[in-house]
Structure 1
Amino acid sequence: MRVLHVITGLDAGGAEHQLRLLLPRLPVECEVVTLSHPGVVAGAIRAGGTVVHELTMRGNRDVTVVPRLVRLIRRGGFDLVHTHLYRACVYGRVAARLAGVPAVATEHSLGDGVIEGHRTSAGVRALYLTTERLGRMTIAVSGAVTGRLLAWGVPAHRITVIPNGIDPGEFRFDPRLRDATRAELGVTPDVPVVGAVGRMVAGKRFDLLVQALPALPGTVLLLVGGGPAVPALRACATRLGVADRVIITGETAGTREWYCAMDLFVSPSPRETFGLTVLEALASGLPAVYACCPALDDVPAGGSWRRIDRPAALPGALAAGLDRGGARLPVPAVVGHYDIARAARSVADLYQRIAPRVGEGIAP
């Protein structure tokens, strides 16, 4: 059976990489359509053997994408549509209904008062709820997202929790890769490196890390990713006199080498729907400091991670984390709990319940 994944864009981001990981592990035939920005993740998905279609929209209100999606669904003989991210969920559910096939959605990015980093409005919420009724089920990536969906008015029986997953082997620490990456960056083995990974947008609060750097003499800050906040981050570093100790990689398809180069991982974002990058860092044996990580909310605190409740505590937490001297830690058991293979099995089971023909041949 055939499933069409519809996603807003394929730039480097958590939802995009999650789709990349999921596709080769689903026991059904999949293709992907992106409605904008066929970035580095599109290339990675194609390299894995999955077809990626590009139906570039001229803007958020380009309704001509609906008939184009309908034609693609019918021409491809798809049995189910799986949507990801707000714009794709809105237009993808409408197109699936018009094409006569069921739709499911994964809610990756609904935060407290924000969705995909933008403030929610009454109009956004109304459109979300109206089109939600056209689908069969919404997958929430965490209990926190479930709570927000319920607060918005999505019925409980139309929500199921399937946590995000990672491929632990993709982030396994390699000392040779560490040395090579540091050499490429011009960072000597003895220099402590604090790192963060994500899209460089204001809401992620990477500026807090730049502001903390003067209190950490001799430490390099490695920011992995790109985005509109990069100029502001560089300006902040220059103003504080630490520009020579801040490295911003720009958008990148892979992150393993960057984690290997770090000594401490930090996620300063106060709003996260899951916290994938924290788990990726733990899989690399890094100690982690974070402001929000729903994936760890129900897990007893471990020696590998520490939560900070206020920005003022960040410099002290970073100094304490660097006291470890860069030694790698054992990978905690929670990483295995969020293995992507487990998530893929749960998604496949959902497909089978919603469109039984999709589940034919799926092993129990």
Structure 2
Amino acid sequence: MRIVHLILTSRFAGSERHALELAAAQAADHDVTVVLRRAGTASRADAIAHRVDPRVKVEVVGNLFTAWQARRVLRRLRPDVAHAHLSGGCRALHGLDVPGCLRVATLHIHYKPRQHDALDGLIAIAPWQLDSIPAPLRAQTVQIDNWTLPRPASDGARARLRAGHGIDDGTFVVGALGRVEPGKGLDVLVEAFKRAQLPDARLVIVGQGKAWKTVREQAGPEVLMPGFAEHPQDWLAAFDGFVSAARREPFGLVLLEAMQAGLPIVATASDGARHLASKLQEPLVPIDDAAALAKALQRMHAAGQCRLAYPMDAFRIESKLVQIEAFYRDGLARLRGA
């Protein structure tokens, strides 16, 4: 099967990780190409191109008229499946006239009529997304959970990162990881951490984004904000507890990563966290409630530095590959009238 993934964003984050991991895994049995925007190929840590598996082919399109250029690539490659990720990829599939090509997208955020209505099928990453999809398209939609790959931390990562930032072994590190944007609720986390007044504790927020400067100013110098992490698993090893204070979290891929690292987790009741609630071992916290979040942080801190065992078998990529390929084949059979 010839599969093309369209990842027309500029910076690497959870959705881009999902798409690249899927492309790499599919390349073991299929002819797989990713189409990248030139901005995603820059020489910087949070670019995308240097993370593409060597087995996956790469096509690069410009930063202007990106959707039009991506359609030209698809007409040349004539794939069986064109799989879009996020808004730019979806726009590229509108008006695509490649006979027999199945046009699908993953709902990394939520259903948007202007992006998704014209497509042949959708993959929802969480059940809550299905409710907003109109019935005809919902009949061509499948729900498949996100996954995480086991990524061991670098040797000595915990000690190295903590020592490098003046954090001793006995300090309880409360950590957050991901895009620093308003939807992640990091402003509430900073306020909750101040209210909690945890002894011998440090808050670390790893990531970058449009709200970074605002959160930095609110947090003050006692909160460590090292920016984008090339190897986030190293920071997860350095944490003693993980917090998602999100106002909006479609699935919570970072929650799976924290579970993989065995971290105690405090999470707000976002859509994604509610989907994973039965696995998280702690009650969810109301969104935008700094007082409740502070109490949850106090409970996590009181339990001490520990690692937990989470049931991860349901979140491995192997079973998801089978489901996604079945979704492709069903869509192709429907499209080709088989």
1:175 shift after superposition:
8.0
Give the aligned partner of residue 118 of structure 1. none
Q: Distance in 2 between matches of 1:203 and 1:281?
A: 19
**Which residue of the partner structure matches residue 117 of structure 1?**
none
- 1:227 paired with 2:209, answer yes
Q: Give the Cα–Cα distance (whole angstroms) in 1 for the partners of residues 186 and 54 of structure 2.
A: 32
Separation of aligned partners in 2, 1:126 and 1:146: 13
Alpha carbons of structure 1 residues 71 and 87: separation in structure 2 relative to 1, 3 Å:
closer
Matched residue, 2:257: 280
Which stretch shifts more, 275-284 or 211-220? 211-220
Query: Which amino acid is 2:300 matched to?
Result: G
Aligned to 1:180: 160
Aligned to 1:74: 75
Counterpart CA distance in 2 for 1:280 and 1:207 is 22
1:20 aligns with 2:26: no
Following the alignment from structure 2 to structure 1, what is the Cα–Cα distance between the partners of residues 74 and 91?
Answer: 16
Write the mapping of 1:28-47 to structure 2, written as runs, cut at 5 A. Answer: 28-35=30-37, 37-38=39-40, 40=46, 42-47=48-53
| Worse-matched range after superposition: 45-54 or 279-288 | 45-54
Aligned to 1:315: 294
- After superposition, the Cα gap between the structure-2 partners of 1:221 and 1:49, relative to the gap in structure 1 and judged at 3 Å, is farther
Distance 2:282 2:218 in 1: 27
- Which residue number in structure 2 is paired with residue 127 of structure 1? 114
Displacement of 1:157 in angstroms is 0.6
Q: TM-score, normalised by structure 2?
A: 0.86
Does the 8 A contact of 1:292 with 1:307 survive in 2? yes
Tell me the equivalent position of 2:336. Answer: none
- 1:1-364 superposed matches below 5 A: 1-26=1-26, 27-35=29-37, 37-38=39-40, 40=46, 42-58=48-64, 64-95=65-96, 97=97, 101-110=101-110, 125-128=112-115, 132-133=117-118, 135-150=119-134, 155-167=137-149, 169-170=150-151, 172=152, 176-214=156-194, 215-238=197-220, 243=221, 245-292=222-269, 294=271, 297=274, 301=278, 304-310=281-287, 311=289, 312-330=291-309, 332-333=310-311, 335-355=312-332
Q: Secondary structure at the match of 2:52?
A: helix
In 1, are the aligned partners of 2:249 and 2:272 still within 8 Å (CA)? Answer: no
Paired letter, 2:229? T
Distance 1:342 1:320, change over 3 A: same
Amino acid in structure 1 at the alignment position of 2:173: V
Query: Structure 1 residues 300, 7: CA separation in 2 closer, same or farther (over 3 Å shift)?
Result: closer
> How far did 1:105 drift?
0.8
Identity %: 25
Deviation at 1:44, TM superposition (A): 4.3
Q: Which runs of 5+ in 2 are unaligned?
A: 334-338
Distance, in Å, in 2 between the alignment partners of 1:99 and 1:186 is 60
Counterparts of 2:153 and 2:303 in 1: how far apart (Å)?
16
Q: Secondary structure at the match of 1:189?
A: coil
Where do 4+ consecutive residues of structure 1 move more than 4 Å?
Answer: 172-175, 293-296
| Distance (Å, rounded) in 2 between the aligned partners of 1:354 and 1:88 | 19
CA root-mean-square deviation: 2.5
**How many aligned positions are there?**
323
Q: Which runs of 5+ in 1 are unaligned?
A: 59-63, 112-124, 357-364
Distance (Å, rounded) in 2 between the aligned partners of 1:352 and 1:342: 16
